[in-house]
Amino acid sequence: MAKIEASLVKELRERTGAGMMDCKKALSETSGDMEKAVEFLREKGLAAATKKSGRITSEGIVESYIHGGGRIGVLVEMNCETDFVAKNEDFRALVRDMAMQIAAANPQYITREEVPTHIIEHEKEILRAQAINEGKPEKIIDKMVEGRLEKYFAEVCLMEQNFVREGDQSVKEYIQSKVAVFGENMAVRRFARFQMGEGLPKRSEA
């Protein structure tokens, strides 16, 4: 295996935020090719993010986003580990992306774990009734309900929605790719979405 220069390891670390040993391994695996090493680390990014997922996130920012000429407004708090990252413009751009996602996709929860049990059970009842009304055999109804429940989570849970700017990955996967770059755990803590006139009775046309 070819010797990897320390300067290459340092450059890759600065570009990706990955750990020194990870950078050295990536360069070794790609014969010192910088661009291939970057791609290697990105492909391994989810594993790196998983290792960091238990770290405490006590820094971060609150971002706002107004859409449609004031018709929709979003406030979102996203946390990270250090004030250094919280002040980083790329982190701020990530939080703005989350605000735009919430405005566009209207999630109700951050993760599926936040969905109340009674809501899930009610949704299952509806999905089961739909399957029965479609004339599906009883033996496959439970599997159908579980499959459709997954689609429900993908609609109402922010982390499981398709990221609007990168349709081939979920919001969770997108955040994890940034965790790999920054080298810090990050998490959406809470959000609020306001839509003009939502919940108000509509004026009837005479």
pLDDT of residue 109: 96
- Shortest CA distance to 193 belongs to which of 133, 103, 126? 103
First-to-final CA distance of the chain: 81
**Where are the chain's structural domains?**
6-43, 59-111+157-195, 116-155
Q: Are 52 and 176 in contact (CB under 8 A)?
A: no
Task: Kindly report, residue by residue over 114-158, the tens digit of the pLDDT.
Answer: 999 999 999 999 998 988 888 888 888 888 888 999 999 999 999
pLDDT(96) > 90: yes
Architecture of domain 59-111+157-195: 2-Layer Sandwich (3.30)
Q: Which helix (H) or strand (E) holds 155?
A: helix 138-156
What mean pLDDT, rounded, does the chain reach?
Answer: 85
Asked if pLDDT for residue 17 goes beyond 80, the answer is no
Residue 87 has pLDDT above 80, yes or no: yes
Class of CATH domain 116-155: mainly alpha
Rank 27-36, 89-98, 126-135 by mean pLDDT and report only the highest: 89-98
Neighbouring-strand partners of residue 59? 80
Tell me the average pLDDT across 64-88.
92
Q: Looking up tokens 């406030």, which residue turns up?
A: 75
Per-residue pLDDT tens digits for 165-200: 877 889 999 998 888 888 888 999 999 999 988 877
| CATH code 1.10.8.10 for 6-43 | yes
Total-model pTM = 0.68
